[in-house]
Chain A
Amino acid sequence: MKQQNKIKLENIAARSSGILLFFLLWELSARFHLIDTQFLPPISVILNELIHLLISGELLHNLLISLWRIICSLLLAAIIGIPLGILLQGWFPRLARDMDSFFRLLSHVNPFSLSPLFLLLFGVGEIQKLAVISIVALWPILFHTITGVRSIEPAIIKTARSMKTPASVMSVKILLPAALPTIMTGLRISTQLSVFMLTGVEMLDARTGLGALVHGSAMSFDIPRLYAGGVLIILLGIALIQLLALLEKQTLRYEQINQYSDAASVKNGLHGYYIPLIAGALCSIIIFGGQLVRQTAVMPEMDHNMVHGSGTSHHMNADNSAHGSMDHHHMDMEQNDTSYDVMLHPPDGGPWPPSAAHKHMDKADQGADMTQKDASGSQSDGTVHMDTADNTTDDGMQHHAMHMNNSQQTNADNNNQGSSTDHHQQHHMDE
């Protein structure tokens, strides 16, 4: 066992060596100013930002909401796609063949290009977001289900039919498991697609979720945050695919055991735990994520600006009870997004803008052109500051104060640890 683990670790190290090297070169080239750090900050800065997001709770908040959207959309697509595929190919194979080109056509419809139609059909809100993602995720699942059922060995179906297997048993106990390997491939493609779609949907009209985080960061020119969000989305995609791979390994165990031969008997015992774990995790995301999404959706317009992204749910509960439900309007979304992100990121919140980093790191070899950039960086920060001040004049004052308190707390903590980040922050605040 130990030997195996060691080999496994070495494998992982070997496989990730390329990425690690890439990160190292990235860091070095940023540190030595071979690249424009304003647009491509060093990886360490991005990591720092990630940690910051994690501590503040924004990361979890947005991640959970994004996860909820993806999982619900995928479930929806699977719930429609798999039974439809089985029904079509299993009982109406000719219809399935005739419909094929029509389905292919439909699958090329980009819901973004038809967004007015989607607005009309589903309105603005969560339903519309889920619909947009689901409709894209549906096709790979449907096609792969049809292909999977079509390529079942005829003798298997013949044998099952010879026992007068009723249609329901045939679908669930024969066609579904026999086509499952192919369906899983479709599901994987759909997962990947839905991560893309999710990002797009959240960038367009959402205030929460990782896509919104990225979009907001772009609007407020918060580059490290933008990258941090981007990295998170990539990680989300990878994590979901890994999860599926795990699920696939579990459900399709019968196909893989012989690859590991004897080792499989040891692994089987372990494998058994994955399914309940995964199921539990999925359920929690759907339930708790749904809670979060609902809370954000009914948030009153005014407080919305203040509260977004502060992350803790009790915080928002308070808002709900205070102001009742009220829907925000589609039109002023953009503006909201910007200000929300300003709030998320008060100027004292992080090691960015580059001015801080530079001053700290490279005091000696600072070039003239660099200082110019720093100035512009500070400039943008200044305006952001103004925005924040404006907003706080409303009755959201209290929340704002709370938020500030929180971040100061974090700062204090950090100071105690004496990490380099805080030096930046201190530096910047002094400014």
Chain B
Amino acid sequence: MTDFTGDTVSVHDETEKIVAVNINKIYKVRQKDSEKLTEFQALKNINLTVKKEEFLVIVGPSGCGKSTFLDMVAGLAHPTSGEIYMDEKLITGPALDRGIVLQGYALFPWRSIRKNVEFGLEIKKIPRKERTEISQRFIDLVNLHGFEDRYPHELSGGMKQRVAIARALAYDPEVLLMDEPFAAVDAQTRESLQEELLRIWEKTKKTIIFITHSIDEAIFLADRVVVMSADPGEIKETINIELPRPRDGIRASAEFGRLRQKIWQLLQNGHADTEELRQSDNLNDRAV
């Protein structure tokens, strides 16, 4: 794994969509007492391959660097070392081939639902008539027909999240990056959103990287679940989810329970580790 260099990318598998190679991210943080900058390793040696049309879910304790990683794939942040490739091309910045959906919806409150969905299309300079057609198609896809001229604040949390998804899909990116998109909605809405997302994914054939804190959500959605640990952020294990699709009612199955148990344990261990680390850190602080 460690001698995985740029050269190997040329013997690239057709099915590989995104390849992250030896990603490290170090933040320089100012300690509150001293002027000195100390280094904080948010991500350490991340190697990850996402296949074409794969649904990949990342879980991990808070602060393990999930969002940091996703931002890098989106091109919004740069790794301190290492590279991320998409279709063999190095990712250097954001582009319309990747769409992002964030936890806080991040809808543009001054734009109607339709205009929100059309934003990426405006950037793409698609003419108005075509724009309206496309946005209508995606508004219908996320079941928001009839809400086109409403403003974001007039929608429920679940509806807003669907708008955010439609907005990211409308400009037809190949990869959809979702950072805890369903965290702010109630359990029932969440389950229906998950089913809807699977339906959209099957229909649109996107590659999806999805971050969540919910183990159930991860298993229900994923082809593969990446479990991370914190301090420093590392990939602890990757678990293939070989549950049959469609997955309606799968939550009650024995296999689902087994996977849930496994991931839960992995996360528990991670937590225990970080807990210990934190405590020793505190001790060190006191000693100094």
Chain A interface (Cβ within 8 Å of chain B)?
Answer: 153, 155-156, 158-166, 169, 173-174, 177-178, 180, 252, 254-255, 257-258
Contact = CB atoms under 8 A, between A and B. Distances in A.
Dominant SS among interface residues on chain B: loop
Interface string B81-105: 0000000000001111011101111
A174 B116 CA distance: 11
Given A163-B94, A164-B94, A169-B123, A158 B106 contact: yes
Given A164-B95, A254-B153, A155 B108 contact: no
Nearest to B164: A159
B220 interface: no
A163 B171 contact: yes
A13 to B, nearest CB: 32
Given A162-B94, A252-B110, A257-B154, 17 more contacts: A155-B103, A155-B106, A156-B106, A158-B106, A159-B106, A159-B164, A161-B94, A162-B98, A162-B99, A163-B99, A163-B123, A164-B93, A164-B123, A177-B111, A257-B153, A258-B153, A258-B154
Nearest to B74: A162
Contact of A178 (B99, B100, B108, B151): B108
Contacts of B103: 155
A162 to B, nearest CB: 4
B76 A162 contact: yes
A159 B109 contact: no
A90 to B, nearest CB: 16
11 contacts: A153-B104, A156-B106, A158-B100, A161-B94, A162-B177, A164-B96, A164-B123, A177-B110, A254-B151, A254-B153, A255-B109
A268 to B, nearest CB: 10
Contacts of A257: 151, 153-154
A346 to B, nearest CB: 56
B108 A163 contact: no
A176 to B, nearest CB: 9
B256 interface: no
Contacts of A178: 108-110
Contacts of A173: 119, 122
B120 interface: yes
A158 B151 CA distance: 20
B106 A165 contact: no
A162 B93 CA distance: 8
Contacts of A160: 119
B123 A156 contact: no
Interface centre among A156, A159, A160 (most CB of B within 10 A): A159
Contacts of A254: 109-112, 151-153
Contacts of B122: 169, 173
Interface centre among A155, A160, A166, A169 (most CB of B within 10 A): A155
